[in-house]
Amino acid sequence: MIHHVKGTLVELELTHAVVDIQGLGYFINIPMSTYDRLPRVGAEVALRTHMVVREDDMSLYGFAGEEERKLFRLLINVSGIGAKTAVAVLSSLPVANFCDAVVNADVKVISKISGIGKKTAERLVIELRDKVSTMVAGKIIGNTVDLDVEDDDSNTAINDALLALETLGYRPDKIRKVIKGVVDNMDKSKLASEDIIRQALAELNS
């Protein structure tokens, strides 16, 4: 399986990119979320990839970020969801927003995505709710504000806090809102899971 590609971007359309690697052109299907993050044609580009192989087709899908590829892989493992529908999901909503809709069982939002009806949206909630609840560790969704944490150690601290509080039985949607408030008032360069958990528990139990 091709894990990633790095080369010269020689063609870019809304639905695909062509990357030249030592004279060999790779046709790569992409979601809009990736299209928006790619450089101009002629520049060097690196994409994480996933290959979908069927009896009558072999297609390569590319993603600008690892979170996109993770969600794509989760989606195509859901019964009735193919690669094209997974791309439609990524093209319609940011990863964090989709994960938030799944965790909160917001079937109305999910069913607005092209190719997904109400029943499919309900199935996505059932099958993915636990799996996506921590995918927004670095971009915890509050009401209308995203908390953007770029540092890997900070992301790990937030993710560990989320997992620990979920293990204690708190609802994922409530946990994220509380943690957002906690982290907003902390030094982003010195985030520690123990401190986040302690302050979050104080809020959750107040």
Judged by DSSP in three states, 53 sits in: strand
Report the topology of domain 4-63: OB fold (Dihydrolipoamide Acetyltransferase, E2P) (2.40.50)
Q: pTM for this one?
A: 0.67
Sequence-separated (6 or more) residues with CB below 8 Å from residue 87: 15, 29, 30, 31, 61, 72
Sequence-separated (6 or more) residues with CB below 8 Å from residue 91: 31, 32, 33
Burial 63-92 (b: 16+ CB within 10 A, else e): bbeebbbbbbebbbebeebebebbbbbbbb
CATH number attached to the domain at 66-132: 1.10.150.20
| Ranges under pLDDT 50 in the chain | 138, 140-150
pLDDT score of 169: 74
pLDDT score of 140: 46
pLDDT score of 141: 40
Residues 87/33, Cβ–Cβ less than 8 Å: no
pLDDT score of 69: 93
* Angular region, 81: left φ>0, alpha ψ -120 to 50, beta rest: beta
pLDDT score of 135: 66
How many other C-beta atoms lie within 10 A of the C-beta of residue 152? 9
pLDDT score of 45: 94
Residues 67/74, Cβ–Cβ less than 8 Å: no
pLDDT score of 133: 72
Judged by DSSP in three states, 11 sits in: strand
